[in-house]
Amino acid sequence: MLDKELEVTLQKAATDQLKSKPDQDNLGFGQFFTDHMFTMRWDRRQGWHDATIEPYRPFAVDPAAMVFHYGQAIFEGMKAYRGKDDQIFLFRPQDNLSRMNQSALRMCMPRFPQDRILQALRAMVYLDQGWVPRAPGATLYIRPTMIATESALGLRAAEEYLFFIICCPVGAYYAEGFSPTRIYVEDRYARSIPGGAGNVKAAGNYAASLKAQTLAHDKGYAQVLWLDAVEHKYVEEVGSSNIFFLINGEVITPSLEGSILPGITRDSVLQLARDWGYPVKERRISIDEILAAGKDGTLQEGFGTGTAAAISPVGEFCYREERIQINGGVAGALSKRLYDELQAIQFGEREDLHKWRVRVG
Ligand code: COI
């Protein structure tokens, strides 16, 4: 369906449907949802249709909906930021929507008109702008999602889908905030196999990661660092973010070889590090190399990057009961500089050299 053919209708929430807003200083992550949502449906005959911004409400979904049985579900994570003079910005939203269309292709789901959806998203965030937090560092997290809704059993791609966008005001993803996290290196379970779907944002990837994450939590670690599924040797990504290392002055992150999510924050960090003159490498990096760099003192920093987590410094890795402390367990200078710079760009306080910001309204 062509972008211009998709009409979006607006049903504003009535005054008695508006919710009371949560305490901005205790938002946590993903607990509260705004007054409106966006929905649209797809079927083979009509393509995308019934696009609506409407009051937030539960869905009625048939128990036979194919998403429950065969797992066709994809999503994205993006944020809106309130800058000075109450200007509201999105950060690289086109990149999230185009990645979602890549996810749709991989999962045999219909592609959607990105430009129209971005327009609808901007309209919805504008409508719910009172929900974009003012508290320092807090943001409005945006979750576009697509699920298979056709009621049928039997394994094949569904012929009906629901696309929706919901928003929630959030504080820091990790309760620790910008403090260094402790990460458990997983060498038994695997997140993604060559030829699998690890490079797209399929909900099932996250479900399959929970076992290792739960075991790591039980041992006192915040997240898992995944290794490649074939040799259990090369570093891939952390449960909710991409991973970077600063070794001997060089910024290194695992190359995208089909099993790692191509993060938008990852890409922004690569760009900023290059702008600042760091030597930057996207390449395979083994856990043995990290251990060796930890021992000989050249491992200066480790940090995760993601929309939800932003920049999250790593204070310690644990691999087969061996612990590697990084930078004495405190956040490094590069992690801090990246965190500050990205925030400054996202909140409209710094010149937007790469044209990453999109103004709402
Ligand atoms: C994001 O970073 O936005 C994500 O979708 C990660 C998710 C595990 C919260």
- Residue 240 Cβ inside 6 Å of ligand 1? The answer reads yes
> Which atom of ligand 1 is nearest the CA belonging to 173?
9
- Residue 213 Cβ inside 6 Å of ligand 1? The answer reads no
**pLDDT, tens only, 244-286:** 999 999 999 999 999 999 999 999 999 999 999 999 999 999 9
Å from CA of 239 to ligand 1 middle: 9
- Residue 308 Cβ inside 6 Å of ligand 1? The answer reads yes
pTM: 0.96
CA pair distance 278, 251, nearest whole angstrom? 7
Q: For position 176, what pLDDT does the model report?
A: 67
pLDDT at 2 over 70: no
> Which atom of ligand 1 is nearest the CA belonging to 306?
2
CA pair distance 303, 345, nearest whole angstrom? 19
> Which atom of ligand 1 is nearest the CA belonging to 206?
8
- What value does the mean pLDDT take over residues 120-135? 97
Q: Which of 272, 270, 274, 217 is nearest to 240 (CA)?
A: 217
Q: For position 72, what pLDDT does the model report?
A: 98
Q: Cα separations (Å) of 43 from 99, 106, 112?
A: 22, 18, 12
Q: For position 1, what pLDDT does the model report?
A: 52
**pLDDT, tens only, 321-336:** 899 999 999 999 999 9
Residue nearest to ligand 1 atom 5, measured at CA:
77
Residue nearest to ligand 1 atom 7, measured at CA:
240
Tally the C-alpha atoms within 13 A of residue 347's C-alpha that lie toward its C-beta.
19
**pLDDT, tens only, 69-101:** 999 999 999 999 999 999 999 999 999 999 999
Å from CA of 240 to ligand 1 middle: 5
**pLDDT, tens only, 187-210:** 999 999 999 999 999 999 999 999
CA pair distance 306, 314, nearest whole angstrom? 14
Mean pLDDT of the chain: 95
- Residue 307 Cβ inside 6 Å of ligand 1? The answer reads yes
- Residue 77 Cβ inside 6 Å of ligand 1? The answer reads yes
Residue nearest to ligand 1 atom 3, measured at CA:
77
Å from CA of 142 to ligand 1 middle: 10
